């Protein structure tokens, strides 16, 4: 996880927010305080100026009364003196005081050193408004030179209910705003001090809050790495402390849940790995998200190639089925991957993965290799059909001849013996067929056991060949291409006799007049290879591997004519395999056929007898 920088940490953010809140509060308080203080100071200044103006008004009225009573009195000199005293008492706040006569609007007196305006008409608008309204008029202006605020007041002089004049004053408010400036500086200094104290307290307070949070963050990082043993330190039992306790409890629960999940995952992995059946899982869109090793082998695909691919394409059923069909859970689907060389058939069973809400979340497909089962079923059907056919032919023949005999043919001395001979041949043929079927049935039985004993196979083989050589009726030569070396094998003599009888009988049946049957024995490591060759018509190359199947005949008409049941080589195959050997054939059309089979031979035993 990326490390959190200092300027991104919650510690700094908490302190900054705390300081901003204090600064905002101080600014709100400061604005309100300064505005109110300014308003109060201005009001006090105006009240003080009004009171002194009224005192000046009273003194002016007295001087005006004296002037009316004493025509020789020096009224202007006295008024000028009053104005000087007035400006001196206000400590320099009053810049200038003028007395304007109401009747002529002329300046009677001024406190300014420049007396040139005395006797002239005033042009001040505020004076005219005061003369007209009879009320005090005020205005504030900025002095052009210094930029100080100046309070201009025009106060009417009331005499006997009429306005006899106006007191025009120009007072500087510099002291008021100087006081405001000092107060603002004091307030700013206090704000800075408060912010510094707040920063220190904020850092201390932030540590108490961010320390457990940082600890929980480190714990979360460790949990993400899979370490659940670390615990968060509990600094108190407030809300953060309760959160730390809950975090520790969560860590414990997650550890238990992960252990349980990991155990179940290992079990599932083990089950999937050791299953002989293929398993495929998909998401709700039909894309493969899991498949085990048997599924890879069955479908001949790699896990990297199959993952995220549609299951319909991987199974090759996109033309016959849709994803909705699979979600409806069909009974089973046969997947035929057979080639010309070998059959290969899989059976797929589908089931739906559902959420707790019942909504489909994916599919599970289980693959079974049913190639052998399908082959057995096919062979069983063919076997039943062949047995029915093989039995029906002689039975039909016998019924025809017996019906003929029953209809009077038995009285015919020439036909009756011939019909009876045919019936007897067909009966013997059915007996041979039934006997062969019984032998195969015993070989297929799980209770079948071989009665093995040690036999000199060279002598045993010569004895079987001699028996056929003495009883043969056709002109066929027997050639023994093997030495007289003693070869001891542990075999069931009766069963191997049956094997050799079936193979040699076939060789004699298909050998032409004057042909040769060759017998060979060859030692090959731990097996003895026996081969019997004829010079018959041979077997087509594509049919060589089928001659050991039950009821298989290359030339069916000739086989029946020669009395074959089509089970001889199938019985030989079963008996040889029961001994742990193998049997096969090689043939070339027009040149003959060779049947090979092997029997296990233990070297130690061989050496001991030698």
- Sequence spans of domains, the chain: 10-180, 275-369, 375-444, 453-609
Q: Which of 289, 291, 292, 338 is nearest to 316 (CA)?
A: 338
Please state the separation of Cα 601 from the chain's center in Å: 59
Identify whether the C-beta of residue 563 lies closer than 8 Å to the C-beta of residue 432.
Answer: yes
Identify whether the C-beta of residue 498 lies closer than 8 Å to the C-beta of residue 450.
Answer: no
Cα separation of 123 and 396, whole Å?
157
Report, as an integer, the average pLDDT of 398-409: 77
Q: Indicate if the pLDDT at residue 320 is higher than 80.
A: yes
* Range picked from 40-54, 308-322, 402-416 for highest mean pLDDT: 308-322
Q: Can you list the alpha helix ranges (DSSP code H) found in 300-356?
A: 303-306, 311-315, 323-327
Q: Strands of 592-600's sheet, edge to edge?
A: 477-481, 516-524, 527-533, 592-600, 583-588
Report, as an integer, the average pLDDT of 385-391: 66
Kindly give, in sequence order, each residue whose CB lies less than 8 Å from that of residue 80, ignoring residues fewer than 6 positions away: 109, 111
Cα separation of 60 and 54, whole Å?
10
Cα separation of 169 and 90, whole Å?
12
CATH architecture type of domain 275-369:
2-Layer Sandwich (3.30)
Helix orientation angle between 239-274 and 174-224, rounded to the nearest 10 degrees = 30
Report in angstroms the alpha-carbon separations of 172 from 61, 88, 246: 26, 13, 70
Q: Which helix (H) or strand (E) holds 519?
A: strand 516-524
pLDDT of 529 = 93
Per-residue pLDDT band at 533 (split at 50, 70, 90): very high
Identify whether the C-beta of residue 130 lies closer than 8 Å to the C-beta of residue 137.
Answer: yes
Comparing 481 with 359, which gets the higher pLDDT?
A: 481
Measured over the CA atoms of residue 475, residue 476, residue 478 and residue 479, the dihedral's sign is: positive
Report in angstroms the alpha-carbon separations of 276 from 64, 295, 347, 479, 485: 133, 9, 13, 51, 48
> Position of tokens 């007041």?
153
DSSP, collapsed to helix, strand or coil, labels residue 328 as coil
DSSP, collapsed to helix, strand or coil, labels residue 530 as strand
pLDDT of 372 = 78
User: Each residue of 474-483: b (16+ CB within 10 Å) or e?
Assistant: eebebebebe
Tens of pLDDT, residues 584-600: 999 888 888 999 999 99
pLDDT of 3 = 53
Q: Which two tokens stand for residue 122?
A: 């005033």
Per-residue pLDDT band at 458 (split at 50, 70, 90): very high
pLDDT of 492 = 87
pLDDT of 91 = 54
Taking the model in full, what pTM does it have? 0.41
Cα separation of 111 and 100, whole Å?
12
pLDDT of 234 = 80
Q: What percent of the chain has pLDDT over 70?
A: 85
Domain 375-444, classified CATH 3.90.1300.10, yes or no = no
Pick the CATH number of 453-609 from 3.20.20.150, 3.30.565.10, 3.40.640.10, 3.40.50.300: 3.30.565.10
Q: Which of 540, 541, 595, 533 is nearest to 570 (CA)?
A: 595
Comparing 92 with 255, which gets the higher pLDDT?
A: 255
Report, as an integer, the average pLDDT of 233-254: 82
Beta bridge partners of 162: 159
Tens of pLDDT, residues 276-295: 788 889 988 889 988 888 88
pLDDT of 100 = 84
Q: Which of 123, 538, 411, 512 is nearest to 419 (CA)?
A: 411
Cβ neighbours, 10 Å, residue 597: 25
Q: Indicate if the pLDDT at residue 328 is higher than 80.
A: yes
DSSP, collapsed to helix, strand or coil, labels residue 98 as strand
Tens of pLDDT, residues 466-483: 888 887 878 889 999 998
Tens of pLDDT, residues 40-85: 888 888 888 888 778 777 777 776 666 666 555 455 666 777 776 6
Mean of all residue pLDDT scores within the chain: 79
pLDDT of 179 = 85
Q: Which CATH class is domain 10-180?
A: alpha beta
Pairing state between β 477-481 and 516-524: parallel
Identify whether the C-beta of residue 546 lies closer than 8 Å to the C-beta of residue 521.
Answer: no
pLDDT of 480 = 92
DSSP, collapsed to helix, strand or coil, labels residue 119 as coil
Cα separation of 75 and 477, whole Å?
184
DSSP state of 453: E
Cα separation of 540 and 505, whole Å?
20
User: Within the chain, how many helices (H) and strands (E) appear?
Assistant: 16, 17
Q: Which two tokens stand for residue 575?
A: 């008996």
- Worst-scoring range by mean pLDDT, 373-387, 431-445, 558-572? 558-572
Domain 375-444 in the same topology as domain 275-369 = no
Report, as an integer, the average pLDDT of 232-239: 78
Report, as an integer, the average pLDDT of 262-280: 80
Cα separation of 184 and 264, whole Å?
73
pLDDT of 521 = 93
């Amino acid at each position: 996880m990326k490390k959190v920088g200092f300027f991104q940490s919650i510690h700094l953010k908490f302190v900054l927010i705390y300081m901003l809140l204090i600064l905002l509060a101080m600014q709100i308080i400061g604005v309100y305080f300064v505005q109110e203080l300014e308003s109060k100071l201005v009001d006090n200044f105006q009240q003080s100026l009004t009171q002194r103006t009224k005192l000046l008004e009273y003194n002016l009225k007295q001087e005006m009364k004296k002037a009316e009573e004493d025509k020789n009195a020096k009224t202007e000199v006295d008024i000028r003196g009053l104005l000087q005293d007035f400006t001196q008492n206000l400590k320099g706040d009053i810049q200038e005081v003028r007395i304007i006569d109401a009747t002529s609007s002329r300046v009677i007196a001024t406190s300014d050193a420049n007396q040139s305006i005395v006797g002239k008409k005033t042009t001040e608008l505020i004076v005219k408004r005061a003369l007209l309204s009879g009320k005090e008029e005020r205005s504030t202006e900025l002095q052009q030179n210094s930029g100080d605020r100046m309070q201009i007041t025009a106060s009417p002089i009331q005499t006997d209910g009429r306005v006899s004049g106006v007191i025009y004053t120009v007072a500087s408010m510099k002291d008021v705003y100087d006081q405001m400036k000092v107060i603002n500086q004091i307030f700013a200094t206090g704000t800075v001090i408060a912010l510094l104290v707040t920063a220190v307290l904020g850092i201390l307070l932030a540590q108490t809050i961010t320390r457990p949070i940082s600890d929980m963050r480190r714990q979360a990082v460790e949990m993400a790495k899979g370490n659940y043993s670390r615990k968060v330190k509990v600094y108190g039992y407030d809300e953060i402390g309760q959160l730390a306790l809950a975090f520790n409890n969560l860590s414990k629960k997650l550890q238990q849940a992960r252990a349980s999940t990991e155990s179940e995952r290992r079990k599932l992995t083990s089950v999937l790995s050791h299953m002989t059946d293929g398993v495929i899982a998909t998401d709700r869109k039909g894309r493969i998200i899991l498949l085990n090793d048997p599924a890879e082998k069955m479908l001949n695909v790699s896990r990297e190639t199959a993952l995220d691919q549609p299951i319909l394409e991987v199974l090759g059923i996109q033309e016959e089925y849709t994803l909705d069909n699979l979600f409806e859970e069909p009974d089973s689907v046969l997947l035929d991957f057979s080639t010309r060389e070998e059959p290969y058939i899989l059976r797929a069973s589908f089931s739906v993965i559902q959420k707790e809400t019942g909504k489909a979340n994916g599919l599970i497909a289980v693959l079974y290799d049913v190639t052998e089962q399908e082959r057995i079923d096919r062979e069983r059907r063919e076997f039943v059909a062949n047995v029915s056919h093989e039995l029906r032919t002689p039975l039909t023949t016998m019924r025809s001849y017996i019906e003929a005999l029953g209809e009077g043919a038995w009285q015919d001395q020439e036909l009756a013996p011939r019909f009876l001979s045919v019936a007897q041949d067909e009966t013997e043929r059915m007996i041979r067929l039934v006997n062969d079927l019984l032998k195969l049935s015993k070989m297929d039985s799980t209770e079948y056991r071989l009665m093995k004993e040690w036999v000199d196979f060279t002598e045993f083989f010569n004895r079987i060949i001699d028996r056929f050589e003495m009883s043969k009726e056709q002109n066929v030569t027997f050639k023994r291409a093997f030495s007289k070396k003693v070869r001891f094998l542990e075999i069931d003599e009766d069963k191997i006799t049956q094997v050799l009888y079936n193979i040699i009988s076939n060789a004699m049946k298909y050998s032409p007049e004057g042909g040769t049957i060759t017998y060979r024995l060859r030692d090959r490591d731990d097996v003895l290879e026996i081969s019997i060759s004829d010079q018959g018509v041979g077997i087509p190359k594509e049919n060589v591997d089928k001659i050991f199947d039950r009821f298989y005949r290359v030339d069916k008409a000739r086989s029946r004519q020669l009395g074959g049941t089509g089970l001889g080589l199938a019985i030989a195959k079963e008996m040889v395999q029961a001994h742990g050997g193998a049997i096969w054939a090689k043939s070339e059309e027009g040149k003959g056929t060779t049947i090979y089979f092997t029997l296990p031979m233990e070297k130690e035993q061989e050496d001991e007898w030698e």
